[in-house]
């Protein structure tokens, strides 16, 4: 899951050196980028990923943990 989220962040933000601990805000993330990230994750996972999660959990590692736990409960 973390690898997927890192790849989506890299592609969306256009920063190939992003890693799992890179901060969405520090790399220029904005609301449009957050919507693009969640759309890509929804497409890959086949489930809804609320855009608010990107803002609340701005690193790929943190977002992946939350998304992973949400899917485990489903």
- DSSP states of 2-54: HHHHHHHHHHHHT-TT--TT--TTTTT--HHHHHHHHHHHHHHHTS---THHH
* Full-model pTM: 0.92
Question: What distance, in Å, lies between the first and last C-alpha atoms of the chain?
Answer: 16
Domain regions of the chain by residue span: 2-68
The CATH architecture one would assign to domain 2-68 is Orthogonal Bundle (1.10)
> pLDDT 10s per residue in the chain (74 long)?
999 999 999 999 999 999 999 999 999 999 999 999 999 999 999 999 999 999 999 999 999 999 998 876 65
Q: At what angle do helices 60-73 and 2-13 cross, to 10 degrees?
A: 130
């Amino acid at each position: 899951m973390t690898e997927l989220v890192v790849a989506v962040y890299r592609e969306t933000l256009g920063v190939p050196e992003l890693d799992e601990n890179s901060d969405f805000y520090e790399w220029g993330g904005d609301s449009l980028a957050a919507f693009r990230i969640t759309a890509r994750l929804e497409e890959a996972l086949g489930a809804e990923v609320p855009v608010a999660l990107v803002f609340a959990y701005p690193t790929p590692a943190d977002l992946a943990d939350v998304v992973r736990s949400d899917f485990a409960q489903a």
